[in-house]
Chains A and B, each alone.
Chain A
Amino acid sequence: MHVLGRFIFLCGLALTGASAELALAQSLENERGPLPTLEITPGNVKAYRTAVLRFHEAGAPVGEGRIDDLRKEIERGLVFSSIVLPLEHDAYLGEPQSAAMEVETGFDCESWKQSGADAVLQGEVSRDEGRLRADLRVWDVARCQPLKTGRVTGDRDDLAQLGRIIADETVEALSGTRGVASTEIAFMSDRTGERQLYVMAADGRGQRPATNSRFLKMAPDWFPDGRALLYVGYDGIQPGFFLTSRDPKITPGPILRRLMPGLPKYRGRFDPTGEELAMVSSVDGASEIFRVKRKGNEARRLTNHPAIDISPSWSPDGREIAFVSDRSGAPQIYLMNRDGGNLRRLTYTGAYNATPSWSPDGRWIAYETRVRGQFDIWLIDPSGQINFPIVQHSRSDEAPSWSPDGRKIVFSSERRGRFDLYVMDWNGENIQRLTQKVGRNIQPAWGPQVR
């Protein structure tokens, strides 16, 4: 009775929240007269404008020229984020050279405010056992106080990588979500004549092969900690799983060989913990989705239908799997729980929907849909209520893969005549081309954030 009463009371509170507020405002009014209210809606400022100072050099200098290179790399990384933009140097009214980090005073807030900066990045580079190190301080210009102080170390003597990491840290300080300039993207390319797995920085630089064997490969996926890549290789009678890594402790080569012997394995996707793999195999002539533990044990069949079931994509919480099935007569996106239960169809528009990719925040599933003989990329929410195109082009855009911060999508597009990889903001803006080499560049997989 008591609980019920409280419940009703709370319900009443919720329902009359508006009137409570109204009463409060009216009491204010009674005291002071009407409270003038001004309403502001978003203008056209979509990014935090940040002044990147020339970093101070401490101890063994890295060299004048390299300090400017580092600044360029940081600014480039910020531009890549789309939500933090470097302030034009011409606009600087404050001192462009960073003071040493131990100097906390003398920061000229007013000049930076007049410059139009929302934030200022101050820093100091030094060497730590040969590796580059940077100490950072991100200033909140509005409050004139440090927003974040930190230290990052490059994993090698790589100024570009250090700059990207600094940019990602700055993005995190301002937006709460770490940037992705320092992440990597894996993809398949046949630029040398045979299809190999490649890896590149998220902005397209540093493209390099990660495999060199002759057999055909496809469908790369990152291990969640970023240390290894899984792919499917056709080195024998049946396609199977392979691993590659730059970590010397991980042996590259075939994995899960004893799993379902004699059956082909087409595409594997690690669950968010990396402990299990959602995979596609073929049973009695129909592709089905399985889930298997890391060691290859406890293989469990999740779908059971004479139609084709492929392309699993985990929800970020690992509880659900999106996949493609043609059980309705045409390829459509379906959802199911991780045990195969609660199966339901998600897409009802388009006669050919494929390659679902679940966003890291769980809000969207990106997929490709065929329109007039080519593919566009759409987003649909997991309830199926909101469904809209983000990339529409007269030539195919395919195989979306989300950045780990959920702000960007990499995809493969034929818009320049052959398949190249492009990256864009999740709302379809800021499309940038990443691959320019010959050959078809397809099946991108955006790697995780690795600190």
Chain B
Amino acid sequence: MTADLIGWDDEHGPDHRRRLRNAMILSVALHGSIFAAFAISPSRVVVPMPDVIAVELIAGPVSGARPSRARPAPKPAPPAPTKAPEPPAPPPPAPPVAKAPVQVLPEESPGRIRKAKPEVEAKVPPKPAPEPVVRRPKKEEALSYDDAMAELGLDETEEFLEALPGAREEDESSGEPQAPTGGEVSQAGAAISPELAAWNVATKRLIQRKWVTPPNLRNRGFVTQLQVRLTLSGELLGPVEIVRTSGDIYFDDNAVKAVLTAAPLPPPPKPGLRVILFRSEAN
């Protein structure tokens, strides 16, 4: 009764179940027709687009060990100057040897890209009309949001370190320099010192533990660039400056607060200016 009056809006009546059953039968028939359509004209099979919207290669001093990732949003300008080659880095505990560049796959977009949608159908008789299945992209398993977001819950530093060939978790107290993750490269692409690499790892981990990134600030294409001046003991000298804003004041502010809270940072190999780049994308 209710369901008759309101179409499928009241979903829970016996009518609904009958509807479900009918629709399931229809669905089976439709899937059959999809297969038929595919079998007859394979050339018309719509190839789903890849899961990636765009790929931007961020190279250079930003992160020696990490190439780029896809970003869904309009691309901000590359944050770093030049396309520096991958940094040769010392695999521990042996003396410095050139490290193979680490390939990191471009991050997948949180969803699936669908082919441009067809025009809205012209008037179609309501019920028996078959779905315009051939024009639709093939139904496929979409990337689960959980899968995409699961990464975010991990301590990606450790994951990343383990993924690095020849790289090992840096024990901050060991003093034995290890291969870098957020390693740096000079403009010319020269290797950084083991001391600097170790400092990078320790500092990155420290700041990461202080940096609050709620779900609504993750995977937004945000990049905030801060500049700090460090003393030899790792104290901040002067204010933390935002040299490039993400456009979101809370993302920017959380980055600043992370550095302020993390301070004093580990004693750097060399005092002076440092650039710290915060990205909303996890690995």
Contacts of A282 in B (CB 8 A): 5
User: Is residue A192 within 8 Å, beta carbon to beta carbon, of the partner chain?
Assistant: no
CB distance from B129 to the nearest CB of A (A): 4
- Which A residues between 287 and 327 are near B, CB-CB below 8 angstroms? 287, 305-308, 310-311, 324, 326-327
B9 touches A38 (CB 8 A): no
User: Is residue B55 within 8 Å, beta carbon to beta carbon, of the partner chain?
Assistant: no
Contacts of B81 in A (CB 8 A): 21-22, 25-26, 29
Contacts of A212 in B (CB 8 A): none
For A247-291 the 0/1 string (1 means CB < 8 A from B) is 000000000000000001011000000000000101000110000
- The answer to whether A39 and B182 touch (CB under 8 A), given A22-B81, A32-B272, A216-B2, is yes
User: Is residue A83 within 8 Å, beta carbon to beta carbon, of the partner chain?
Assistant: yes
User: Is residue A219 within 8 Å, beta carbon to beta carbon, of the partner chain?
Assistant: yes
CB distance from A415 to the nearest CB of B (A): 15
A406, B214: Cα distance in complex, Å: 13
A387 touches B146 (CB 8 A): no
User: Is residue B44 within 8 Å, beta carbon to beta carbon, of the partner chain?
Assistant: no
A328 touches B124 (CB 8 A): yes
Pick the contact of A46: B24, B118, B130, B215 (CB < 8 A).
B215
Interface of B is mostly: loop
Contacts of A326 in B (CB 8 A): 126-127
Pick the contact of B277: A40, A218, A343 (CB < 8 A).
A40
A386 touches B275 (CB 8 A): no
User: Is residue A398 within 8 Å, beta carbon to beta carbon, of the partner chain?
Assistant: yes
Contacts of A35 in B (CB 8 A): 61, 273-275
- Which A residues between 59 and 79 are near B, CB-CB below 8 angstroms? none
A387 touches B211 (CB 8 A): no
Pick the contact of A428: B109, B125, B145, B273 (CB < 8 A).
B145
User: Is residue A425 within 8 Å, beta carbon to beta carbon, of the partner chain?
Assistant: yes
Contacts of A345 in B (CB 8 A): 117, 120-121
User: Is residue A442 within 8 Å, beta carbon to beta carbon, of the partner chain?
Assistant: yes
CB distance from B89 to the nearest CB of A (A): 15
A192, B216: Cα distance in complex, Å: 40
B63 touches A39 (CB 8 A): yes
B215 touches A140 (CB 8 A): no
Q: Select the residue from A25, A29, A38 with max chain B CB neighbours within 10 A.
A: A38
- Which A residues between 1 and 30 are near B, CB-CB below 8 angstroms? 17-18, 21-22, 25-26, 29
Contacts of B214 in A (CB 8 A): 46-48, 82-83, 175
Contacts of A348 in B (CB 8 A): 114, 117-118, 136-137
- Which B residues between 242 and 283 are near A, CB-CB below 8 angstroms? 249-250, 255-258, 260-261, 272-283
For A165-208 the 0/1 string (1 means CB < 8 A from B) is 00000000001100000000000000000000000000000000
- The answer to whether A37 and B61 touch (CB under 8 A), given A42-B152, A329-B127, A351-B23, is yes
A330, B121: Cα distance in complex, Å: 12
A386 touches B111 (CB 8 A): yes
- The answer to whether A330 and B203 touch (CB under 8 A), given A39-B182, A46-B214, is no
User: Is residue A239 within 8 Å, beta carbon to beta carbon, of the partner chain?
Assistant: yes
For B74-103 the 0/1 string (1 means CB < 8 A from A) is 000111111000000000000000000000
CB distance from B36 to the nearest CB of A (A): 17
B142 touches A388 (CB 8 A): yes
CB distance from B145 to the nearest CB of A (A): 5
User: Is residue B52 within 8 Å, beta carbon to beta carbon, of the partner chain?
Assistant: no
A373, B139: Cα distance in complex, Å: 16
Contacts of B278 in A (CB 8 A): 40-41
| Size of the chain B interface, CB-CB below 8 angstroms | 103
Contacts of A38 in B (CB 8 A): 182, 184, 200, 203-204, 274-277
B111 touches A387 (CB 8 A): yes
B213 touches A46 (CB 8 A): yes
- Which A residues between 211 and 228 are near B, CB-CB below 8 angstroms? 216, 218-219
CB distance from A435 to the nearest CB of B (A): 15
A311, B6: Cα distance in complex, Å: 10
User: Is residue B11 within 8 Å, beta carbon to beta carbon, of the partner chain?
Assistant: yes
The residue in chain B whose Cβ has the minimal distance to the Cβ of A267 is: B9
A334, B119: Cα distance in complex, Å: 12
B186 touches A40 (CB 8 A): no
- Which A residues between 412 and 429 are near B, CB-CB below 8 angstroms? 419, 425-429
A21, B225: Cα distance in complex, Å: 12
For B107-144 the 0/1 string (1 means CB < 8 A from A) is 00111111001101101111111111000110100111
- Known A-B contacts: A43-B157, A45-B212, A47-B214. Give 10 more (CB < 8 A): A37-B63, A37-B275, A37-B277, A38-B274, A42-B156, A44-B155, A306-B126, A310-B6, A386-B110, A429-B149
| Size of the chain A interface, CB-CB below 8 angstroms | 93
User: Is residue B18 within 8 Å, beta carbon to beta carbon, of the partner chain?
Assistant: no
Contacts of A46 in B (CB 8 A): 152-153, 212-215
CB distance from B274 to the nearest CB of A (A): 5
10 contacting pairs across A/B (C-beta < 8 A): A35-B274, A42-B213, A43-B155, A47-B214, A118-B257, A118-B261, A266-B6, A329-B128, A329-B131, A387-B142
Contacts of A151 in B (CB 8 A): none
- Which B residues between 9 and 66 are near A, CB-CB below 8 angstroms? 9-12, 20, 23-24, 26-27, 30, 53, 61-63, 66
Contacts of A343 in B (CB 8 A): 120
CB distance from A299 to the nearest CB of B (A): 19
B10 touches A218 (CB 8 A): yes
A351 touches B209 (CB 8 A): no
- The answer to whether A142 and B23 touch (CB under 8 A), given A311-B9, A343-B120, A388-B110, is no
Contacts of B117 in A (CB 8 A): 344-345, 348, 384
- The answer to whether A352 and B272 touch (CB under 8 A), given A310-B8, A386-B110, A388-B142, is no
User: Is residue A143 within 8 Å, beta carbon to beta carbon, of the partner chain?
Assistant: yes
- The answer to whether A175 and B250 touch (CB under 8 A), given A37-B62, A46-B214, A47-B212, is yes
The residue in chain A whose Cβ has the minimal distance to the Cβ of B109 is: A386
Contacts of B212 in A (CB 8 A): 45-49, 118
A142, B186: Cα distance in complex, Å: 31
Contacts of B210 in A (CB 8 A): 45
A40 touches B208 (CB 8 A): yes
Contacts of A130 in B (CB 8 A): none
A25, B11: Cα distance in complex, Å: 61
User: Is residue A141 within 8 Å, beta carbon to beta carbon, of the partner chain?
Assistant: yes
- The answer to whether A41 and B276 touch (CB under 8 A), given A239-B5, A306-B126, is no
A299, B24: Cα distance in complex, Å: 37
Pick the contact of A308: B8, B66, B215 (CB < 8 A).
B8
- The answer to whether A39 and B110 touch (CB under 8 A), given A44-B154, A46-B214, is no
